Structure 1
Amino acid sequence: MRKTIVAGNWKMNGSRSLVNEFSTLMSGVDEATVSVVVCPPACYLAEFSSPGFALGAQTLSELDNGAHTGDISAQMLLELGCDYVIVGHSERREDHGESNELVAVKAAKAIASGLIPIICVGETLETREAGQLKSFLAAQLDALTAVLTAEELQKAVLAYEPIWAIGTGVTATPEQAQEVHAFIREHLAEFSQSLAQSLQILYGGSVKASNAKELFAQPDIDGGLIGGASLKVEEFIQVCQAAG
Structure 2
Amino acid sequence: MTDRKKLIAGNWKMNGSIASNDALVRAVVAGMKDAACTVAVCVPAPYLAQLQLLRHGSQLELGSQDVSPHEQGAYTGEVSAAMLKEFGVRYAIVGHSERRQYHGEGDQQVADKAKAALAHGITPIVCVGETLAEREAGRTEEVVKRQLAAVIHTNGHCISEIVVAYEPVWAIGTGKTASPEQAQQVHAVLRAQLKAATGKADRIAILYGGSMNAGNAATLLAQPDVDGGLIGGASLKAPDFLQIIAAAR
Instruction: Please tell me the TM-score bracket, short chain as reference.
Output: over 0.9
**Match of residue 38, structure 1, among 38, 41, 48:** 41
Query: Does 2:138 correspond to 1:131?
Result: yes
Alignment of 1:141-152 (within 5 A): 141-150=148-157, 152=158
Cα drift, residue 155 of structure 1: 1.3
Q: Which runs of 5 or more structure 2 residues have no equivalent in the other structure?
A: none
The offset of 1:23, in angstroms, is 2.9
1:227-238 equivalences under 5 Å are: 227-238=232-243
Structure 1 segment 15-164 matched on structure 2, within 5 A:
15-26=17-28, 27-30=30-33, 33-48=36-51, 49-51=53-55, 52=58, 53-150=60-157, 152-164=158-170
Give the aligned residue type for 1:209: A
Contact between 2:10 and 2:232, CA under 8 Å: does it hold in 1? yes
SS in 1 for 2:142: helix
Alignment RMSD: 1.2
Instruction: Give 1:176's aligned amino acid.
Output: Q
Aligned to 1:178: 184
Query: Is 1:243 equivalent to 2:248 in the alignment?
Result: yes
> Stretches of 4+ moved more than 3 A in 1?
none
Shift of 1:31: 6.0
Distance 2:104 2:34 in 1: 36
- Report the Cα distance in structure 2 between the residues aligned to 1:28 and 1:113, rounded to whole angstroms: 31
Q: Distance in 1 between matches of 2:25 and 2:13?
A: 18
Normalising by structure 1, what TM-score? 0.96
Q: Structure 1 residue 50: deviation in Å? A: 4.7
CA contact (8 A) 2:160 2:200 kept: yes
Q: Which runs of 5+ in 1 are unaligned?
A: none
Paired residues, number = 242
> Between the two proteins, what is the percent identity of the paired residues?
50
